[in-house]
Structure 1
Amino acid sequence: MKCREGCGACCIAPSISSPIPGMPDGKPAGERCVQLSVENLCSIFGRPERPAVCSGFSADVEVCGNSQEEAIRLLGWWEQMTAA
């Protein structure tokens, strides 16, 4: 599956424990990443300071669904299911 440009669900729904520029402690689930633009695009995409977990994420219908709303719901569910 190709990533839906302008979705941004993967930058909102999951927690990220790695430091992010502007968020040295990472971000909690459900909080918008400070690097996510108003157009829902990653402002550090392709740059070395982008966390490896972000670079390693691949869009998949199982986690992204068919819309941004569905992606936020599914990613939120995966977050809850995998939280330690």
Structure 2
Amino acid sequence: MNCRLGCGACCIAPSITSPIPGMPNGKPAGERCIQLSDDNLCKIFGLDERPDVCSSFTATTDVCGTTNTDAIRLISYLEAQTC
């Protein structure tokens, strides 16, 4: 599955513990990444500054569902289960 352009769920729903440019302590679950544009596109996509955890994320139907709303719900659920 390819990421849905403009979804951004993986940049909002999960916590990220590694440093992100502009967010040196990472980000808590449910908070928009500072590098997520208003169009829900990663501003640092393809750059060395992008955290490895972000670069290694792969969209799959079981994680992202079939809609952006599904993705937020599923990733939020998975985040809650791993805390």
Supply the distance in 2 between the matched residues of 1:69 and 1:15 (Cα, whole angstroms): 18
Q: Which aligned pairs between 1:5-44 and structure 2 lie closer than 5 A?
A: 5-44=5-44
- The aligned counterpart of 2:4 is 4
- The aligned counterpart of 1:52 is 52
- The aligned counterpart of 1:62 is 62
How big is the shift at 1:34? 0.3
Supply the distance in 2 between the matched residues of 1:35 and 1:63 (Cα, whole angstroms): 22
Supply the distance in 2 between the matched residues of 1:2 and 1:56 (Cα, whole angstroms): 13
Q: Which aligned pairs between 1:68-83 and structure 2 lie closer than 5 A?
A: 68-83=68-83
The sequence identity of aligned pairs, in percent, is 66
Deviation >4 Å, runs of 4+: none
Structure 1 gap segments, 5+ residues each: none
Q: 1:7 is matched by which residue type in structure 2?
A: C
Q: How many pairs were matched up?
A: 83
- For normalisation by structure 2, the TM-score amounts to 0.98
Q: 1:72 is matched by which residue type in structure 2?
A: I
How big is the shift at 1:82? 1.2
Q: 1:79 is matched by which residue type in structure 2?
A: E
